[in-house]
Every structure is written in structure tokens, then in C-alpha cells.
């Protein structure tokens, strides 16, 4: 470049245009920015019409850093879909660099040069700038082409936008508008990118007689290749000038229209997704919000009851379908898709809240069978397993929104009669089985030793047993087994006997907040009178609420799930295994232990310790598939003939060749999967066993050689 005057190595933006033409462009640009600003104003006004969310105003700097890390790494987008994540990276960073480049040009041309006489867009800076823009434009185009191929030819089912909660003919069944919007966005960005390259090539041909342009053309490699192609087909400098003139206006007006429409189209997720990630609650589903005693209504009844953060969540949704794909209710054919709940509420919010004046109260109700409303059956289909929240790349809080809507249904008594009866039973007896409180410790009578009453004497470990482990006959055997393990290890432990009540985890996720608070406060009061160092539980549901939700009510404790305690006991050699089992085993990660609380390693360490071969199912760890019991669904039978999540899971396990044991670490899992084993026709092929049972089997006398080959008992 030394042979040229550096100030001549640049690009004159409006070369060849008359002053009126330049003026028209500026008017169009100002109009586009005004439309963008008005659209942003309408969206902000919409969010302000939601209810307050004080928690979102805390720790802003930490939140911003977390959001920036997630956006720049694309970690949440690339999870479980690497190809799409990489394509989105190309689009995001390509678009971001081109936006920065445009802003840089505007800064130099309209600000620093005009106001201060300072120019920097020339020489080496311009050449590297040009190269970076070509690379960015190429990355953007490649990413967009992949997304087109994905939608047009690969066609993953999660992108078909089929609605399980509507029937053909319903006014809001057809989602073709979303498909049109998706394709319009892809084609618009492709046109902006491609016309930018063609415009660059035409400019090079037009100015080919200028050495400082043509000699240095390869600093714009894509444009240079196009210029060579144009010359090869006979395009002259005059022809290139004409092509450049028309294409300049086409490219510029498309880009300005794109800017103007950002707040009114899917493109706004560029901002709303970042906002949603910044405001995300890392314990969104693990720790549900308390009700406000001063509030006029319970839960979400009207669209204005949603917090402004949840309204922002609705706009952050990109319709990627990952929640739809992960949802066990959707997979089982229930009338629920987390994506469609969010989109329905978004459509409702846009229709009701973007107007200058709010419509009448009756038209703000989000429950019902009307257009944009969410069906009662849809809300009650949710298992609150958190699969949707966990996989969402933009941190949408599906489960808290659904539970808030359930709270309104519970308040009005709009639920299955069996669920109503169960909640009444829990309120009356403190357990979901309707048994007398005196029967809660009945399982202890079969033990050859006495378990301490932690209400009356101090213990090192307080065991919070839970309903199913206390009352269900099949689970009582496991409970007795764990008691024997603790006794064998010399652990100083006790239970609350008849004083223990249902921990309330599922009661809260049903939406019965008043009953949950009663249960939590009673348990916390009793725990406060007991003397212990830490809590252990065999129930992941109790584990979750005691760990994550009881602190909001004044009950903060050290609590572990039994799997971690047993791993520690084995490491310390306080428990000794006499022999190995050698079973071919798979393990189901309970939602409340795994996905909710990231406890994946201890159960697998136990399977290794007992000498079993572990074969993980395709959906495991944080991608584990729900058994279907959560969110109170264990108390409500599924419709006759409808597939169940537990059936789906059993079929997944049955595909493992030579499987002998399906291992679980949750009382509800044991109940759900033993039933599913029979009803899916897999009984006799393999067995469902609690990890506690496998550990006890390792401590039992070695079977005689003649029976050593038998299936697990």
C-alpha cells in the first residue's frame, strides 16, 4: 500500500449520488430509526403493564456478566444441538461485526469528520476493516443457508409448530404466520448479505481504473471474486455503475426496513433474549415464589398479573422447540407444549397490552377456551419436571408461569376431583395416603433395633422420610433397608415419627400455596424443636423443597440425599460390601435430584461400587426423562388409552440389550416404573430396583454357585 496515498485508500459512501438523493436517504434513515424507537416504546409500555418483580433489580452487574458470558459463548444454544449452535454463532457474530462496522462508518462520516474534522476510515485501518466485513458477511451467509436447509429439508419435528392443545379448525390452531415470519427473516438477512457482496463487486468493477481500488481489491476477497466474475461475463465499468446505483438503493432500503421492524418481529429477540438471560433466576423452578399476602388475587389470572420479567420472557421465545421436544407431557400426547403456552400468552399480551388503552377486565383473562387463552387441561398436564426451563436457551421460566396460573385454578376449585380430594386429605392428615399420623412410623416395627425419636433426644442425622417411603408397602421395604444401612454404619440417626408431615414440594407445584405454607411452617417448627446436625432424605422431592424453599420460611438446614451419604460411608469404610453383583444396569435420574439439584455422580458411584455395569439411557443426567409423577400428577390418573411418560421411559430402557436392572433413587420413581414395567409388557425381561436394595444385596451372604446366575431378586 506504500505506493498509494493512504487517504485515497478508502470508500466514498455517496460517490455518484446527487444531493437530493442523499437527502432522501437520510430522511428514510431517520424515519426507520423513528419507527424503531416507537416500536421499542410500545414494547417497554407493555412490560410496564405487568406486575412488579423486585428480585430482578438485584445483583445487576453479576447478572450482566453472566448474560454476556452466555451470549458470547452460545453455550445454551449449542447444548444438545451442536450444528444449530455453530450456525447461530456464525449468524450472531457475522451480524454483530457488520452492525459494528456500519456504526463505525456512521461515527466517522456523520460525527467525527463533520464535527471535529477527524477521519480514520482510510489506509490500513480501512483495508483490515474491509477484510473483517467480508469475513463477517460470509459467516452470516453460511449460517443463514444452514438454517434454511434445516427448515426446508432437514425439518426437525420440533419446528413444525403443531399444537397439541388445539384442534384443526380452531381459530388459533394455524401457526403458518410464524413459519412465514421465520422464512421472511432468513430471506431478508440473506438479501442484505448477498446484495452487499454484489454491491461491493459492482463498485470494484465500476472503479477498476483507479489503482488504489483495483490493486487492493483482494482486501475484500468475496467482493473481488464477484468482480472477477462480472468482468468475465462482460460487465463494463459503465454497466457496473448502473448496477451499483440501483442495487445501492435496494440494499439500503431493505436494511432500513429491517431496522424499523426489529421491535415488531422475531428480530427483537436480539434484545429480549439478552434481557431474559440477564434476569434469569438460577433456581426458577427449584424455588417457586411466595404469594403476596397483600395481592388482590392469587396467581396469574389476567395478563397484567404476569411480572414484567415474565412478559419479557414471552418475547424472548424464538420458537426453537427445544422445550416442546423435551417435555414428557408432550411426548405422551397430553394437550401441553411449553412452547405453545408461552406463544399463546405472548399473542395474548401483544393483543391486549400493546394498545394505548387497556381493554376491559374480562378481556385480560388468560384462562379459558378463547383465542390466546390457555386451557385448564393444558396447565394440569404439566409435570413441573423442569425439562423445559433447563433446556431453554434464553432462560424462559415456563414452570413458574404455569404454577402461577395453576394457583388461580386452585383458588377457584378448577381441578380434577381426585386432586381436590388428595389436597383435602393432606390438609387433614398431613400425608397424601389419608392414613392416621400414628401409622407414619409403623414401618419401624419390623426392624430388630429401635430408631431414635429426634423430637425427644438429640441425633447427629435426622432422617426426613417422606410420604411414599413411609406409607407405600413396596417403598417401606426400601425404607427399612436404608435404616439397616444406617444402623450397620453406626450412624446416630433418628426420625420425627408421627410428627413429620408431607414436605409439600408437590403440593406447591400443584398450585396450592396456602397448604404448602402450612406444611412447611409445621415441619420447620418441629425441626426447630429437634436437635440434629444435618438432614438426610431418601425422597428427592422432599430434598428439593427443604433445601431450596424452606429457607424462605426460616428453615435453613444442611441436607443431603441418601446417595451422597452412602457414598461417603463406603469411602470411609463404615459400610463394607461383601461381593459384587455384575448386573447390566441402567439408571434413571430423578428430576428433583438430578435436573433440579445437579446430583448426578453419587448414584452412579454407588452403581459402580456394587459392581454393576452401567449403561446410561440416551436421555440421562440433565436430559433425563420424567417418570410422570411430578407436579401432583401421581395423584391424578392419566386418561384411559393415553401413553404415560413412565411407559415412554420403560421402552427406552428396554432398548438396551441384555438389561437386567432398571435402578432408581426415588420412592415415586419406584412406584411409577414398577407399574410401567408391567403395563408395557417388559415384566420378566428386567426388574426395577432401588439403589438401596442393590447395596443391601451386596452386603448379604454370597448366593450358592448353583443359583449365582439367577436374575436379581
Residues 614-618 have a mean pLDDT of: 97
Burial track 177-194 (b if 16+ CB lie within 10 A, e otherwise): eeeeebeebbebbbebbb
Q: Is residue 712 predicted with pLDDT exceeding 50?
A: no
How does residue 703 score in pLDDT terms, banded at 50, 70 and 90? Answer: low
Angstrom distance (rounded) from CA 667 to CA 290: 27
Grid cell at residue 453:
425419636
Q: Which of 651, 643, 647 is nearest to 673 (CA)?
A: 647
Angstrom distance (rounded) from CA 52 to CA 377: 28
Q: Which of 479, 509, 543 is nearest to 696 (CA)?
A: 479
15 Cβ contact list (under 8 Å, min separation 6): none
Q: Is the dihedral of CA 549, 552, 555, 558 positive or negative?
A: positive
Q: Which of 396, 384, 247, 408 is nearest to 315 (CA)?
A: 396
What does DSSP assign to residue 437? Answer: G
**Per residue in 427-473, pLDDT tens?**
999 999 999 999 999 999 999 999 999 999 999 999 999 999 999 99
Q: Which of 398, 376, 321, 325 is nearest to 161 (CA)?
A: 321
Cβ–Cβ < 8 Å for 512, 410? yes
Q: Residue 461 is inside which H or E element, if any?
A: strand 461-464
What per-residue confidence (pLDDT) applies to 711?
46
277 Cβ contact list (under 8 Å, min separation 6): 66, 67, 70, 71, 76, 394, 395
Residues 92-102 have a mean pLDDT of: 95
| Residue keyed to cell 388445539 | 166
Angstrom distance (rounded) from CA 626 to CA 692: 21
Cβ–Cβ < 8 Å for 363, 352? yes
Q: Which of 516, 460, 490 is nearest to 632 (CA)?
A: 516
17 Cβ contact list (under 8 Å, min separation 6): 25, 248
**Per residue in 5-31, pLDDT tens?**
888 888 888 888 999 999 999 999 999
Angstrom distance (rounded) from CA 219 to CA 132: 9
How does residue 113 score in pLDDT terms, banded at 50, 70 and 90? Answer: confident
First to last CA, the chain: 82
515 Cβ contact list (under 8 Å, min separation 6): 423, 426, 427, 504, 507
Angstrom distance (rounded) from CA 345 to CA 314: 7
Cβ–Cβ < 8 Å for 693, 478? yes
**Per residue in 134-165, pLDDT tens?**
999 999 999 999 999 999 999 999 998 989 99
204 Cβ contact list (under 8 Å, min separation 6): 213, 214, 217, 220, 223, 224, 227
What per-residue confidence (pLDDT) applies to 374?
96
**Per residue in 182-206, pLDDT tens?**
999 999 999 999 999 999 999 999 9
- Strand 493-495 vs strand 534-537: parallel, antiparallel, or unpaired? unpaired
Angstrom distance (rounded) from CA 502 to CA 546: 11
Cβ–Cβ < 8 Å for 431, 502? yes
Residues 214-218 have a mean pLDDT of: 93
Angstrom distance (rounded) from CA 170 to CA 148: 29
Residues 208-219 have a mean pLDDT of: 92
Angstrom distance (rounded) from CA 690 to CA 587: 10
Angstrom distance (rounded) from CA 290 to CA 423: 19
Q: Which of 512, 501, 336 is nearest to 420 (CA)?
A: 512
Residues 86-99 have a mean pLDDT of: 96
Query: In angstroms, how far is CA 205 from the centroid of its own chain?
Result: 50
Q: Residue 26 is inside which H or E element, if any?
A: helix 19-48
The CA distances from residue 704 to 187, 701, 707, in Å, are 72, 9, 6
| Residue keyed to cell 469404610 | 573
- Strand pairing partners for 586? 662
What per-residue confidence (pLDDT) applies to 707?
38
Query: In angstroms, how far is CA 310 from the centroid of its own chain?
Result: 14
By three-state DSSP, how is residue 426 classified?
helix
DSSP state string for 383-402: ----HHHHH-TT---HHHHH
How does residue 641 score in pLDDT terms, banded at 50, 70 and 90? Answer: confident
In this structure, how many other beta carbons lie within 10 angstroms of the beta carbon of residue 488?
Answer: 14
Mean pLDDT: which of 208-217, 368-377, 502-511 is highest?
502-511
Q: Is residue 582 predicted with pLDDT exceeding 80?
A: yes
Cβ–Cβ < 8 Å for 712, 687? yes
What domains are there in the chain, each with its CATH number? 19-44+81-264 (1.20.950), 284-415 (1.10.1060.10), 428-569 (no CATH), 576-707 (3.40.50)
Angstrom distance (rounded) from CA 265 to CA 256: 14
Residues 634-651 have a mean pLDDT of: 91
Angstrom distance (rounded) from CA 81 to CA 432: 40
Phi and psi (nearest 5°) for 669?
-60, -40
The CA distances from residue 437 to 211, 425, 440, 450, 466, in Å, are 94, 12, 6, 19, 12
What per-residue confidence (pLDDT) applies to 4?
84
Cβ–Cβ < 8 Å for 443, 516? no
Residues 223-234 have a mean pLDDT of: 96
DSSP state string for 293-353: TT-SSSS--BGGGSBHHHHHHHHH-----HHHHH-HHHHTT-S--HHHHHHHHHHHHHHHH
How does residue 36 score in pLDDT terms, banded at 50, 70 and 90? Answer: very high
Residues 681-697 have a mean pLDDT of: 96
Angstrom distance (rounded) from CA 104 to CA 129: 10
Mean pLDDT of the chain: 94
Number of H helices, E strands in the chain: 28, 9
Grid cell at residue 325:
421436544
**Per residue in 351-386, pLDDT tens?**
999 998 998 888 999 999 998 899 999 999 999 999
Cβ–Cβ < 8 Å for 222, 137? yes
Q: Is residue 295 predicted with pLDDT exceeding 90?
A: no
Residues 514-531 have a mean pLDDT of: 97
Q: Which of 194, 315, 179 is nearest to 254 (CA)?
A: 194
Angstrom distance (rounded) from CA 599 to CA 594: 5
Least confident span in 168-182, 226-240, 506-520, 667-681: 168-182
Residues 693-701 have a mean pLDDT of: 90
The CA distances from residue 2 to 130, 132, 207, in Å, are 18, 21, 20
Q: Which of 298, 286, 496, 306 is nearest to 408 (CA)?
A: 298
Residues 582-609 have a mean pLDDT of: 97
In this structure, how many other beta carbons lie within 10 angstroms of the beta carbon of residue 445?
Answer: 8
What per-residue confidence (pLDDT) applies to 702?
66
The CA distances from residue 373 to 168, 313, 369, 396, 525, in Å, are 16, 17, 6, 19, 41
How does residue 713 score in pLDDT terms, banded at 50, 70 and 90? Answer: very low
Angstrom distance (rounded) from CA 320 to CA 330: 15
Which CB contacts under 8 angstroms, 24+ apart, belong to 106-111? 109/13
Residues 295-310 have a mean pLDDT of: 92
Cα-Cα-Cα-Cα dihedral of 320, 326, 331, 333, to 10°?
-60
Amino acid at each position: 500500500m506504500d505506493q498509494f496515498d493512504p487517504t485515497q485508500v478508502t470508500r466514498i459512501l455517496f460517490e455518484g449520488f446527487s444531493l437530493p438523493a442523499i437527502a432522501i436517504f437520510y430522511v428514510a434513515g431517520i424515519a426507520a430509526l423513528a419507527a424503531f424507537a416507537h416500536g421499542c416504546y410500545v414494547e417497554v409500555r407493555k412490560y410496564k403493564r405487568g406486575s412488579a418483580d423486585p428480585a430482578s433489580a438485584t445483583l445487576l452487574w453479576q447478572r450482566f456478566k453472566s448474560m454476556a458470558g452466555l451470549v458470547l459463548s452460545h453455550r445454551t444454544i449449542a447444548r444438545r444441538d451442536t450444528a444449530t449452535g455453530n450456525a447461530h454463532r456464525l449468524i450472531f457474530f457475522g451480524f454483530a461485526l457488520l452492525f459494528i462496522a456500519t456504526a463505525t462508518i456512521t461515527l466517522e462520516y456523520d460525527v467525527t469528520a463533520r464535527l471535529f474534522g477527524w477521519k480514520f476510515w482510510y489506509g490500513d485501518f480501512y483495508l483490515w476493516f474491509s477484510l473483517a466485513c467480508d469475513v463477517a458477511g460470509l459467516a452470516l451467509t453460511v449460517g443463514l443457508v444452514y438454517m434454511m436447509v434445516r427448515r426446508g429439508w432437514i425439518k426437525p419435528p420440533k419446528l413444525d409448530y403443531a399444537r397439541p392443545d388445539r384442534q384443526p379448525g380452531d381459530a388459533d390452531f394455524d401457526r403458518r404466520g410464524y413459519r412465514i415470519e421465520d422464512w421472511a427473516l432468513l430471506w431478508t438477512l440473506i438479501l442484505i448479505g448477498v446484495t452487499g457482496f454484489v454491491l461491493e463487486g459492482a463498485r470494484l468493477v465500476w472503479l477498476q481504473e483507479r489503482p488504489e481500488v483495483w490493486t487492493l481489491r483482494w482486501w475484500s476477497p468475496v467482493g473481488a471474486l464477484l468482480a472477477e466474475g462480472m468482468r468475465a461475463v462482460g460487465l463494463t465499468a459503465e454497466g457496473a455503475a448502473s448496477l451499483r446505483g440501483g442495487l445501492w438503493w435496494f440494499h439500503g432500503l431493505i436494511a432500513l426496513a429491517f431496522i424499523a421492524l426489529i421491535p415488531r418481529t422475531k428480530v427483537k429477540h436480539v434484545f429480549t433474549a439478552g434481557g431474559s438471560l440477564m434476569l434469569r433466576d438460577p433456581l426458577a423452578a427449584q424455588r417457586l415464589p411466595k404469594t403476596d399476602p397483600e395481592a388482590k388475587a392469587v396467581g396469574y389470572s389476567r395478563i397484567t398479573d404476569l411480572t414484567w420479567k415474565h412478559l419479557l420472557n414471552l418475547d424472548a421465545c424464538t420458537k426453537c422447540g427445544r422445550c416442546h421436544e423435551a417435555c414428557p407431557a408432550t411426548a405422551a400426547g397430553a394437550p401441553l407444549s411449553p412452547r405453545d403456552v408461552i406463544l399463546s400468552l405472548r399473542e395474548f399480551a401483544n393483543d391486549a397490552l400493546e394498545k394505548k388503552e387497556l381493554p376491559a377486565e374480562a378481556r385480560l383473562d388468560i384462562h379459558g377456551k378463547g383465542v390466546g387463552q390457555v386451557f385448564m387441561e393444558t396447565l394440569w398436564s404439566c409435570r413441573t419436571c423442569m425439562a423445559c426451563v433447563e433446556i431453554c436457551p434464553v432462560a424462559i421460566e415456563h414452570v413458574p408461569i404455569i404454577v402461577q396460573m395453576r394457583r388461580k385454578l386452585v383458588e377457584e376449585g378448577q381441578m380434577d376431583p381426585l386432586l381436590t380430594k388428595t389436597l383435602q386429605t393432606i390438609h387433614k392428615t398431613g400425608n397424601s395416603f389419608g392414613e392416621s399420623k400414628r401409622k407414619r412410623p409403623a414401618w419401624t416395627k419390623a426392624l430388630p433395633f429401635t430408631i431414635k425419636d429426634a423430637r425427644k433426644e438429640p441425633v447427629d442425622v435426622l432422617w426426613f422420610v417422606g410420604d411414599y417411603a413411609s406409607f407405600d408397602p413396596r417403598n417401606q421395604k426400601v425404607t427399612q433397608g436404608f435404616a439397616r444401612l444406617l444402623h450397620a454404619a453406626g450412624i446416630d440417626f433418628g426420625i420425627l415419627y408421627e410428627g413429620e408431615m408431607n414436605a409439600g414440594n408437590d403440593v406447591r407445584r400443584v398450585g396450592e400455596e396456602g397448604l404448602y405454607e402450612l406444611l412447611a411452617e409445621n415441619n420447620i417448627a418441629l425441626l426447630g424443636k429437634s436437635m440434629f446436625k444435618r438432614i438426610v432424605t431418601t425422597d428427592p422431592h422432599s430434598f428439593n423443597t427443604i433445601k431450596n424453599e424452606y429457607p424462605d420460611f426460616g428453615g435453613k438446614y444442611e441436607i443431603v440425599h441418601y446417595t451422597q451419604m452412602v457414598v461417603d460411608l463406603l469411602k470411609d469404610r463404615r459400610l463394607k460390601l461383601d461381593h459384587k453383583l455384575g448386573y447390566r444396569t441402567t439408571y434413571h435420574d430423578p428430576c428433583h435430584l438430578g435436573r433440579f439439584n445437579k446430583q448426578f455422580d453419587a448414584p452412579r458411584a454407588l452403581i459402580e461400587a456394587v459392581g454393576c455395569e452401567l449403561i446410561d439411557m440416551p436421555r440421562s443426567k440433565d436430559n433425563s426423562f420424567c417418570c410422570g409423577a411430578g407436579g401432583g400428577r401421581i395423584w391424578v390418573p392419566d386418561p384411559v388409552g393415553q401413553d404415560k411418560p413412565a411407559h415412554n421411559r420403560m421402552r427406552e430402557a428396554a432398548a438396551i440389550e441384555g438389561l437386567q436392572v432398571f435402578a432408581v433413587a426415588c420412592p415415586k420413581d419406584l412406584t411409577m416404573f414398577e407399574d410401567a414395567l408391567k403395563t408395557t409388557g417388559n415384566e420378566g425381561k428386567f426388574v426395577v430396583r432401588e439403589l438401596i436394595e442393590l447395596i443391601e444385596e451386596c452386603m448379604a451372604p454370597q448366593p450358592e454357585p448353583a443359583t449365582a446366575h439367577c436374575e436379581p431378586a
